[in-house]
């Protein structure tokens, strides 16, 4: 049997339908939400990140484009001058080949961010206080207003309120509460958070506890207790440049961004020892 298939099937056979682990020292491959997680190295880093967020197999993977593969030195992982990086996300590129799968594409949105944040002593990974502190320290407000010309219009008043919200740069105090029925049942959100003004909310899903060691390809954190959360920011907030550990999903092009790394949904090629490709500053590397 194909070793890639075995990698996925064996943990399922051991635990039945659900894959769970409540021991950070013995994480389970593609574990269910609420459990400690280990990567399935037969899939891309990007696909593993969606699994980390609690929703594996939401975006299809595909084989590496031949034009890119021919430009790489697979013995060293060196970048050999491939000049078509931007075209990979063009009409015939990666963006058109990867897509959200199934009828239920929520909870991912154009503004989804996967965050790993430290849990303080006495807290659980899914405590409101963890999400509140993360919103305050990982994110900033977006203005988003262009101020309509007609100052008496409802649009102008709405945009003025947004500008006043954004002009106050403070991110404290943040407030979090259990999500409304609509948000929890239809959008699959656990809680809603905002800073000062409840008109400007984010939706948060608590994915799982973590040790901080799950993705050495991206960045490890000191081993400890962490929370993995999925933030849907809408047009109210955006990730800070100095956020410690966070990956942004680009639903227009269907890849993930982690700091200066672009993470495509490209399946590792077994012929090349299962190497997984990412782009660092638009140069191809292996992780």
Tokens of 257: 């961004």
Least confident of 66-70, 134-138, 199-203, 282-286: 66-70
Which pLDDT score, from 0 to 100, does residue 152 have?
A: 86
Percent of the chain with pLDDT over 70: 77
pLDDT band at 279 (very low <50, low <70, confident <90, very high): confident
Which pLDDT score, from 0 to 100, does residue 269 have?
A: 75
**CA dist., res. 272 & res. 234, Å (int):** 39
In this prediction, residues 152-171 reach a mean pLDDT of 92
Pair 37, 51: CB distance under 8 Å: yes
Q: Measuring CA to CA, which residue among 73, 67, 41, 60 is closest to residue 268?
A: 41
Pair 58, 207: CB distance under 8 Å: no
Q: Is residue 121 predicted with pLDDT exceeding 90?
A: yes
**CA dist., res. 71 & res. 242, Å (int):** 33
Q: Is residue 207 predicted with pLDDT exceeding 50?
A: yes
Q: Kindly report the pTM of this predicted structure.
A: 0.84
Least confident of 11-15, 39-43, 153-157, 270-274: 11-15
Q: What is the DSSP letter of 30?
A: T
Which pLDDT score, from 0 to 100, does residue 150 have?
A: 85
Q: What is the DSSP letter of 102?
A: S
């Amino acid at each position: 049997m194909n070793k890639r298939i075995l990698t996925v099937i064996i943990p399922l056979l051991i635990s039945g339908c659900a894959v769970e682990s409540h021991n950070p020292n013995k994480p389970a491959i593609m574990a269910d939400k609420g459990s400690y997680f280990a990567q399935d190295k037969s899939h891309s880093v990007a696909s593993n990140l969606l699994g980390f967020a609690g929703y594996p197999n939401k975006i299809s993977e595909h084989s590496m484009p031949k034009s890119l593969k021919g430009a790489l030195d697979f013995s060293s992982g060196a970048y050999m001058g491939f000049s078509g990086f931007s075209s990979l996300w063009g009409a015939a590129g990666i963006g058109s080949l990867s897509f959200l799968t199934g009828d239920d594409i929520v909870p991912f949105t154009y503004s989804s961010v996967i965050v790993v944040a430290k849990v303080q002593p006495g807290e659980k990974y899914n405590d409101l206080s963890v999400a509140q502190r993360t919103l305050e320290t990982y994110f900033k407000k977006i203005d988003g207003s262009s101020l309509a010309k007609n100052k008496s219009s409802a649009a102008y008043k709405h945009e003025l309120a947004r500008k006043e919200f954004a002009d106050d740069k403070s991110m404290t105090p943040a407030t979090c509460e259990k999500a409304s029925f609509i948000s929890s049942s239809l959008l699959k959100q656990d809680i809603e958070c905002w800073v000062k003004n409840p008109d400007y909310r984010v939706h948060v899903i608590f994915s799982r506890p973590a040790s901080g060691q799950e993705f050495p390809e991206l960045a490890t954190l000191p081993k400890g207790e962490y929370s993995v959360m999925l933030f849907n920011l809408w047009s109210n907030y955006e990730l800070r440049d100095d956020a410690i550990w966070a990956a942004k999903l680009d639903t227009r092009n269907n890849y993930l961004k982690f700091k200066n790394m672009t993470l495509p949904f490209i399946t590792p090629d077994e012929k090349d020892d299962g190497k997984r490709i990412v782009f660092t500053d638009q140069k191809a590397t292996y992780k």
